[in-house]
């Protein structure tokens, strides 16, 4: 590990995992933490926390406020929990416009309503100009577990792998906005609350083994975490991966892989084979999930590895992303 912290250590991929394990897990070691789930399960409650630092603050499809509620509520939803109570802690840079703050908070209010959750505690700090980049938001969430036993440690050969919608929209949108690439007017972040989709699946009795929202590190990071945590091999058909033309375009131009791009309303599901058709039908009833797809199966071919199979019969490993997201040179 490096002596000073680099941006690559916040990428949700290999270096990020390394930092968490060698610094935080080492110090905070306990059984709940070591399960490495999206949210900690304590009795019939799920608890999670997340900090949000995004530039620009307002982007196509969402803003930092919507992101701060979706991110935390989605982590609860991924454990089969209904989001109920949130805290909201903000660190604001001196000189920040109150009007922008009001827009952000209004976004949070609207998104809380979709989840049926409330903010019950908070904190506000203002720091001198230059100490933070405009505004950082931390949200901690508490949810009530509706369906127990959902765990990324339990994926088995009885499961198939699904993705609820097209991948990489958030990462591509933020990258394009930050770097001023005017690629397409239709490219929007997927930022969205996932509990309504999860609730519909649970209400229909779909047998869910694991769920995880594919945030930093993207779908590639989730699949690799599952393969490692559950000691299985996940085989994915590349042509079944749902990717929009806009995201494909950004990836082609800059040399990125859509599977490594961040998402904020996209999740991966491991579902018992018999429930897959029903799950797909339910997901597709949501407008944003038109591209929901069964993307692969679970085997023991190469335990702890993810295999990507091309439409022309070749295959390769899909690795956990590493390094800072940088465009290729030529």
Partner 1 sequence: MSSLQLKDLYDGFRDPDVIKGYQKVIATDAQKLSRTINIMEVCGGHTHTIMKYGILQLLPENIKFVHGPGCPVCIMPKERIDHAYVLSQQPNVILVTLGDMIKVPGSNGSLQDARSKGSDVRFVYSPLDCLKIAKENPDKTVIFFAIGFETTTPMTAALLDTVIKEDIPNILLHLNHVTVPEPMRALISDEACIIDAFLGPSHVSVISGSKIYEEFPRDWGKPVVVSGFEPVDVMQSISMIVKQFIENRCELEVEYHRAVSREGNLKAQAMVDKYFQKVDFRWRGLGDIPQSGLGLRAEYDKYNAEKIYDAVLPKEEIDDHKLCICGDILKGKASPPQCSIFGTACKPTSPVGSCMVSSEGACSAYYKYGNLI
Separation CA 305–CA 249 (nearest Å): 28
Residue 80 · residue 148 · CB < 8 Å: yes
Residues 6 or more apart in contact with residue 173 via CB below 8 angstroms: 59, 60, 61, 187, 188, 189
Binding of partner 1 by 327 (CB under 8 A):
yes
Nearer CB in complex with partner 1: 98/329: 329
| Binding letters toward partner 1, positions 11-40, x by CB under 8 A | ---xx-------------------------
Q: Looking at 204-212, 262-270, 280-288, 304-312, which segment touches partner 1 (CB under 8 A)?
A: 304-312
Q: Copy the structure tokens of residue 193.
A: 């609350």
C-alpha closest to that of 63 among 53, 72, 73, 77: 53
Q: Interaction with partner 1 in 305-324: which residues (CB under 8 A)? A: 307, 310-317, 319, 322-324
Residue 39 · residue 239 · CB < 8 Å: no
Q: Looking at 67-75, 141-149, 210-218, 303-311, which segment touches partner 1 (CB under 8 A)?
A: 303-311
Size of the site for partner 1 (CB under 8 A): 33
Q: Interaction with partner 1 in 253-282: which residues (CB under 8 A)? A: 253, 255
Q: Which of 31, 182, 252, 287 binds partner 1 (CB under 8 A)?
A: 252
Q: Which of 8, 64, 160, 174 binds partner 1 (CB under 8 A)?
A: 8
* Packing angle of the helix pair 195-203, 64-77 (nearest 10 deg): 30
Q: Interaction with partner 1 in 167-206: which residues (CB under 8 A)? A: 179
Nearer CB in complex with partner 1: 42/253: 253
Separation CA 117–CA 279 (nearest Å): 25
DSSP 3-state of 223: helix
Residue corresponding to tokens 């397409």: 184
Dump the DSSP string for 78-142: TTTEEEEEEEEEEEEETT--HHHHHHHHHHHHHHHHHHT-EEEEEEEEEE-TTSSSSEEEEEEEE
Q: How far is the CB of 219 from partner 1 (least distance, A)?
A: 16
Q: Which of 199, 248, 273, 284 binds partner 1 (CB under 8 A)?
A: 248
**CA angle centred on 315, ends 310 and 319, rounded to 5°:** 105
| Binding letters toward partner 1, positions 36-75, x by CB under 8 A | ----------------------------------------
Q: How far is the CB of 243 from partner 1 (least distance, A)?
A: 10
| Binding letters toward partner 1, positions 115-154, x by CB under 8 A | ----------------------------------------
Separation CA 204–CA 201 (nearest Å): 5
Percentages helix, strand, coil for the chain, rounded to the nearest 5? 35, 25, 40
Binding of partner 1 by 7 (CB under 8 A):
yes
Residues that bind partner 1 (CB under 8 A): 2, 4-8, 14-15, 179, 245, 248-249, 252-253, 255, 307, 310-317, 319, 322-324, 326-330
């Amino acid at each position: 590990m490096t002596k000073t912290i680099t941006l690559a250590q916040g990428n949700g991929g290999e270096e990020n995992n390394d930092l968490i394990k060698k610094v935080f897990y080492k110090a905070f070691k306990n059984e709940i933490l070591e399960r490495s789930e999206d949210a900690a399960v304590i009795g019939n409650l799920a608890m999670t926390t997340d900090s949000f630092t995004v530039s620009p603050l307002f982007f196509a499809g969402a803003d930092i406020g919507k992101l701060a509620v979706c991110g935390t509520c989605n982590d609860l939803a991924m454990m089969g929990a209904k989001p109920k109570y949130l805290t909201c802690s903000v660190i604001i840079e001196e000189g920040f416009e109150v009007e922008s703050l009001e827009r952000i908070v209004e976004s949070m209010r609207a998104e809380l309503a979709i989840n049926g959750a409330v903010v019950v505690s908070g904190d506000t700090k203002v720091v001198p100009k230059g100490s933070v980049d405009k505004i950082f938001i931390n949200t901690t969430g508490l949810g009530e577990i509706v369906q127990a036993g959902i765990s990324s440690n339990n994926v088995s050969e009885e499961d198939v792998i699904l993705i609820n919608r097209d991948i990489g929209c958030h990462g591509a949108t933020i990258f394009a906005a930050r770097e001023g690439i005017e690629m397409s007017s239709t490219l929007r972040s997927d930022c969205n609350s996932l509990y309504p989709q999860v609730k519909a699946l649970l209400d229909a009795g779909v047998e869910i083994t694991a769920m995880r929202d594919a945030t930093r590190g993207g779908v590639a990071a989730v699949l690799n975490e599952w393969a490692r945590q559950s000691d299985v091999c996940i085989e994915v058909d590349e042509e079944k991966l749902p990717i929009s033309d806009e995201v494909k375009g950004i990836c082609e131009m800059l040399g990125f892989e859509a599977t490594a791009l961040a998402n904020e309303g996209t999740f991966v599901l491991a579902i018992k084979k018999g429930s897959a058709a029903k799950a797909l039908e339910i997901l597709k009833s949501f407008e944003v999930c038109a591209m929901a797809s069964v993307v692969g199966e679970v085997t023991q071919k190469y335990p702890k590895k993810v295999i990507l199979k091309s439409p022309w019969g070749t295959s390769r490993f899909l690795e956990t992303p590493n390094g800072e997201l940088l465009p290729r040179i030529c």
